[in-house]
Amino acid sequence: RYDDLMEAAFGHRGKMIGVFCMSGFLLLVNALYLVLIGKSLQWFLVHGLGFEAPYRTCVLAISGLMVLLTLLDDMTVIAWLAQFGCVSCVVYVVTITVVGGRYGLRGQCPYKPTGEALRFEGQVHSAWPENWLAPFSVMAKCLLCFAHQPTTTTVRAAMQHPERMPFCMKTACLSTFAVYLLAGAAGYYGFGDIVDAESVLTNMIDDKGKPLVAGLLLSSAVQLNLALTFPLLMNVVNRATEGALIGGYCAPVRLVLLV
């Protein structure tokens, strides 16, 4: 683990620095998760149920649920529900790939440009790489950031033969990267560079402005997956902080970290 490496190199102080860095990183990831859950919930309420819900209201509602899940110390139920989170990841890939392929084959995306997009409507930007090494640099970053990070913990927890860890990690990373590449390529093929920067969900509409079934599925999958991932990551941060400061469960510390 990262904190063990820091301890071996710099002693106890290094371990504390390692715990602080990793905990800070996970807290920033969870903050992003709250934003994504709030936007997905708002999209679902507006387009799926016809209920006008402000974005901030959606985030506050989700935050209330996350407070309860953060105070939960036993992750057995959440871990059991995580299998449904895996199903939601499949929904991600299927919906983005299907809709992206559909729009790409039709040659038309029912996109409503924002004010920012209209300012650059008359400009043409070259999409060619600056040199032949540039694409490989991007692929390496995607492989390490988007494939290695989510698969390492899962593979390690499920390992029955630790000596096969390197082979399993390579296979898991390459498989995950292939899935990301498929969904990204299909999405770009259909939506192009006019996708709203806020969310792919913005483009999950038909010619009449009505939501696609794929959009409703994607929105639900995002909420389910991130709502299950959030307490797991918070539990890691909570236990690391409690172990460093107090040595046991402490509700006030967890609430401070969440805020």
Q: What pLDDT does 258 receive?
A: 80
Which of the residue ranges 113-122, 138-147, 186-195 would you say has the lowest mean pLDDT? Answer: 113-122
What is the rounded average pLDDT of the residues 129-134?
68
pLDDT of 165 over the 70 cut: yes
Mean pLDDT, the chain, rounded, equals 73
Q: What pLDDT does 141 receive?
A: 63
CA 206 to CA 208: how far, in whole Å? 5
Q: What pLDDT does 202 receive?
A: 63
Of 7 and 59, the one with more pLDDT: 59
Of 126 and 86, the one with more pLDDT: 86
By percentage, how much of the chain surpasses pLDDT 90? 0
Which of the residue ranges 27-36, 137-146, 158-167, 233-242 would you say has the lowest mean pLDDT? Answer: 137-146
Give tens-digit pLDDT for 205-257: 666 667 777 778 888 888 888 888 888 888 888 887 877 777 778 788 888 88
Structure tokens at 49: 């149920």
The dihedrals phi and psi of 241, each to the nearest 5 degrees, come to -70, -45
Q: What pLDDT does 140 receive?
A: 67
Residues 6+ apart with CB under 8 A from 229: 33, 85
Of 87 and 206, the one with more pLDDT: 87
Give tens-digit pLDDT for 110-127: 554 544 444 445 544 445
Structure tokens at 119: 């300012």
DSSP letters along 98-165, please?
HHHHHHHHHT-------HHHHHTTT-----S-SSTTHHHHHHHHHIIIIIIHHHHHHHHHH-S-GGGH
Band (pLDDT 50/70/90 cuts) for residue 159 is low
Enter the pTM of the model. Answer: 0.70
CA 214 to CA 92: how far, in whole Å? 9
Q: What pLDDT does 111 receive?
A: 52
Residue with tokens 């990841």: 89
Domain regions of the chain by residue span = 2-114+196-258
pLDDT of 93 over the 60 cut: yes
pLDDT of 197 over the 60 cut: no
Q: What pLDDT does 229 receive?
A: 81
DSSP letters along 234-252, please?
HHHHHHHHHHHHTSS--HH
